[in-house]
Amino acid sequence: MTIGADLKQCLATIKSIEAGLSSLAINTNAEDEQRLYHEQMMVIEEIKQDLMKRIGEVEREEEQYKGF
């Protein structure tokens, strides 16, 4: 697989982690646990932003990696 595809796969996994944490934060009824999941969701969100930026760069540099 090309690095472009690898990066996109990783991004998809990151998104699924974010969604998983978000659903845990909603479903749990212990307040401090809720806060913890939410905080970690924010961290994952930051990682997601960085990764998306990087994917944009790669796509600009290497035309053939464009699209899904």
Partner 1 sequence: MPEWIHIIYRGVLFLILLFLMTKLLGKKQISQLSFFEYISGITIGSIAAEVIMGLDNNIWHGIIGVAIFAVIPFFVEILSLHNKKIRDVVEGKGTVLIKDGKLLEDNLKKEKYTTDEILQLLRGKDVFQVNEVEYAVLEADGKLSVLLKKDNRPLTRKDIDLPSINEKEPHTIIMDGEMIDDKLASAGKNRAWLKQELDKQNVTIENVFLGQVDSSGQLTLDLYDDKIQVPKPQEKPLLLANMKKCQADLELFALATDSEKAKRLYAANARKLQESMDVLSPHLKG
Q: Does 54 bind partner 1 (CB under 8 A)?
A: yes
User: Of 4, 38, 47, 52, which one interacts with partner 1 (CB under 8 A)?
Assistant: 47
Among residues 39, 40, 50, the alpha carbon closest in space to that of 17 is found at 40
Q: Which is nearer to partner 1, 7 or 65 (CB)?
A: 7
CB 54 within 8 A of CB 48: no
For partner 1, which residue of 2, 4, 8, 44 counts as binding (CB under 8 A)?
44
Is the Cβ of residue 27 or residue 66 nearer to partner 1 in the bound state? 27
